[in-house]
Amino acid sequence: MRHPTLVALLSGSVIWLSACEDSSRASVSRAIDSVTSVDQQNMAELMLTAGDPEEAVAYFSAQMENEPDSLLNQRGLGRSLMRAGRANEAVPLWRGVTAHPEGTNSDKVALADAQLRANDWAGAERTLNSIPPTYETFDRYRLEALVADSKQNWRSADHFYEIAAGLTTRPSSVYNNWGYSHLTRENFREAERLFTKALQHDPSLFTAKNNLALARAGQGNYTLPLVQMTQQERAVMLYTMAIAAIRKNDVNVGRVLLEEAIDTHPQHYEEAVRAMRALDGAGTG
């Protein structure tokens, strides 16, 4: 005869063991889901930082077919399209992300960036205006500066460039854009100062070197700046100064600079040769 107490204890043990097994399975399932989530995030970051832009677009497009509502995949596709130079396609994607209940101010900045690259300056300005002033990031102020520049609102542009430069440890591109802004205002001395500052932070930034040559030429100074440069960079900078000189009607100076650019370039410098031919043709016509 079975003892009632023993039967009850055994029954309780079976129930307890079953509950433990269910709990264990749930824990394992959660752990697997957690690992899968981490793997997806790691893969997403890898594709965005190390992958070929078009391959990243293909990857996130495929991910969205499986999980169309995933913000991780939508953001990844948006960033990949931007890296691939497909801003027009990125705009509607980022617009959808910003409209999502979990959309952030960072997503709005990404939308504004895409709109600028797609040449929708008015749209970018509206997007930036929808971001609260308390959201202060490098990317936000970098874009604010570009929009202000496009409207020739120089005071605001200078203000935003200054803030943006202070919010990054790599401000070379900001100083280069800021310098170019002063170049368009024909404030050549200030432009030269800002391009020099850009090169202090990144001596390899060739656009700043070339812009620096242009700023010096704007002041009638046709000597190359004392910056690190390759032979090919030197030739291009000489060519840039030559064209600037010719446009200022310093034709003889321009001719000498063109000759030096052609002689300096390690290969055949077609652009400089064509410019010289045009100059010779104009002189003999």
Alpha helices in 50-171 (DSSP H): 53-66, 71-83, 87-99, 105-117, 121-129, 138-150, 154-166
Tell me the three state secondary structure of residue 102: coil
Which pairs with CB-CB distance under 8 Å and at least 24 residues apart come from 92-95?
A: none
Q: How far apart are the first and last CA of the chain?
A: 126
- Give the per-residue pLDDT at 33: 45
- Give the per-residue pLDDT at 44: 63
- Give the per-residue pLDDT at 282: 63
Q: Does pLDDT of 8 surpass 50?
A: no
The DSSP letter of residue 224 is P
Q: Rounded to whole angstroms, how far apart are CA atoms 22 and 239?
A: 76
Mean pLDDT of 23-44: 50
In the chain, the domains with their CATH numbers are 136-219 (1.25.40.10), 229-285 (no CATH)
- Give the per-residue pLDDT at 61: 86
- Give the per-residue pLDDT at 37: 45
pLDDT category, 38, cuts 50, 70, 90?
A: very low
Which of 59-73, 180-194, 256-270 shows the lowest mean pLDDT across its residues? 59-73
Residue matched to tokens 């200022």: 248
**How would you class 110 by CB atoms within 10 Å of its CB: exposed for 0-12, middle for 13-18, buried for 19 or more?**
buried
Which of 36-45, 87-96, 241-250, 262-271 shows the lowest mean pLDDT across its residues? 36-45
Higher-scoring residue by pLDDT: 245, 38: 245
Q: Does pLDDT of 245 surpass 70?
A: yes
Q: Does pLDDT of 32 surpass 50?
A: no
Q: What is the mean pLDDT of the chain?
A: 84
Q: Does pLDDT of 3 surpass 90?
A: no
- Give the per-residue pLDDT at 29: 47
Mean pLDDT of 96-105: 94
- Give the per-residue pLDDT at 275: 86
Q: Rounded to whole angstroms, how far apart are CA atoms 272 and 239?
A: 6
Which of 62-76, 161-175, 224-238 shows the lowest mean pLDDT across its residues? 62-76
- Give the per-residue pLDDT at 114: 96
